[in-house]
């Protein structure tokens, strides 16, 4: 079993990370510039060092084991942090080259993804030899990744108490939302706020909560949502909601982009449990905002704001 990480182990982990990211040995060959037998030998040696089986390969194709999935996620965190360290170290010498890691909250609308791509393109055009890793995280993970050093910048909505250890850069855009249900749900017939009888209590219908979302979102005057289960993203909440068994809070952009085809119903004409979560670019206080990151933040704010007009 591995007790101490050696330089040779880092090289083996790089090989495994590439194979896992490419979902196969053959696809990883051009990335690693290695031939398949050498890649296979490196993975086998890593498995021996870790005393774990990381993946299965054969006629059924490449497939990671449960242990391999854990090693892959931990390896991703290590290499993200290392790339960030190298980037920050170079910036101390006014060398603005290397990798930036940008994390997006899962479930943001397509318009924002396109705006992010324009901001990234602008940043890469202005600064030579800059490469950007774009990743996603769940709502309840965004604060952690901003603090942990796994990334440079995070784009997310945020409605909890803002920790002093995170710097928030407001974009001037808010994500509004309200209470929705599936067309088969008993509350779907109450589309108009005036059609909601006084004897119909929202508390009598099971609701889905979002992990990490402030509990204040589940209170609207005298009404409270009866949270019976939790989802880790708005996308997952919508999937559970479409069973017709639950009501859920959803951003309006999801209802516009996907809800039309699904027949999503805004209960009481959208006048129940309305929310507005401001969008931010965030970074940990330990992140050094050099000219590259400052330019990226400025471009993200501009292009995202433009995309919402």
Residue found under tokens 């490196």: 42
Cβ neighbours of residue 44 under 8 Å, at least 6 residues apart?
none
CATH label, 7-74, candidates 1.10.10.10, 1.20.120.80, 3.40.50.1370, 1.10.287.990: 1.10.10.10
**Domains 7-74 and 175-277 fall in the same CATH topology:** no
Phi and psi angles of residue 4, each rounded to the nearest 5 degrees, phi first = -135, 140
**Tally of residues, the chain:** 309
Domain ranges of the chain: 7-74, 78-171+278-307, 175-277
Burial label for 177, CB within 10 Å (0-12, 13-18, 19+), is: buried
Classify domain 78-171+278-307 by CATH number: 3.40.190.10
d(CA 106, CA 100): 19
H or E stretch covering 157: strand 153-157
Summarize pLDDT for 151-160 with one digit per residue, the tens. Answer: 899 999 988 8
Q: For residue 296, what pLDDT is reported?
A: 95
* Structure-token pair, residue 239: 């999937």
d(CA 234, CA 109): 11
**Model confidence at 193, in pLDDT bands (50, 70, 90)?**
low
- In this prediction the pTM is 0.74
Summarize pLDDT for 214-242 with one digit per residue, the tens. Answer: 889 999 988 899 999 999 889 899 999 99
Q: For residue 60, what pLDDT is reported?
A: 66
The answer to whether 274 and 175 are in contact (CB under 8 A) is no
The CATH superfamily of 175-277 is Periplasmic binding protein-like II (3.40.190.10)
**Model confidence at 280, in pLDDT bands (50, 70, 90)?**
very high
d(CA 30, CA 287): 33
Closest CA to 248 of 155, 110, 259, 113: 259
Q: For residue 2, what pLDDT is reported?
A: 65
62-71, 115-124, 262-271, 284-293: the lowest-pLDDT one? 262-271
List the Cα angle 244/249/254 in 5-degree steps: 90
């Amino acid at each position: 079993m591995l007790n101490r990480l050696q330089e040779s182990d880092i090289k083996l982990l790089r090989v495994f990370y590439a194979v896992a990211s490419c979902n196969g040995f053959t696809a990883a060959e051009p990335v690693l510039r290695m031939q398949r037998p050498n890649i296979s030998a490196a993975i086998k040696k890593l498995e021996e060092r870790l005393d774990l089986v990381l993946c299965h390969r054969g006629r059924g194709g490449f497939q990671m084991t449960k242990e391999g999935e854990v090693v892959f996620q931990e390896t991703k965190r290590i290499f993200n942090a290392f790339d960030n360290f190298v980037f920050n170290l170079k910036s101390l010498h006014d060398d603005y080259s290397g990798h930036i890691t940008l994390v997006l909250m899962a479930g943001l609308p397509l318009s924002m993804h396109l705006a992010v791509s324009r901001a990234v393109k602008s940043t890469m055009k202005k600064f030579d030899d800059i490469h950007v890793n774009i990743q996603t995280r769940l709502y309840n993970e965004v604060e952690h990744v901003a603090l942990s050093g796994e990334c440079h910048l995070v784009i997310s909505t945020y409605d909890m108490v803002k920790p002093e250890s995170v710097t928030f850069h407001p974009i001037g855009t808010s994500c509004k939302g309200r209470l929705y249900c599936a067309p088969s749900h008993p509350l779907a017939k109450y589309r108009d706020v005036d059609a909601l009888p006084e004897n119909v209590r929202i508390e009598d219908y099971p609701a889905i909560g979002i992990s990490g979302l402030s509990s204040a979102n589940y209170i609207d005057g005298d009404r409270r949502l009866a949270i019976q289960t939790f989802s880790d993203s708005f996308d997952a909440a919508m999937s559970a909601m479409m069973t017709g068994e639950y009501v859920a809070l959803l951003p309006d952009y999801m209802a516009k982009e996907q809800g039309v085809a699904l027949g999503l119903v805004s209960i009481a004409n959208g006048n129940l449990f309305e929310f507005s979560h401001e969008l931010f670019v965030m970074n940990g206080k330990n992140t050094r905002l050099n000219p590259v990151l400052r330019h990226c933040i400025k471009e993200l704010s501009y292009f995202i704001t433009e995309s919402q007009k």
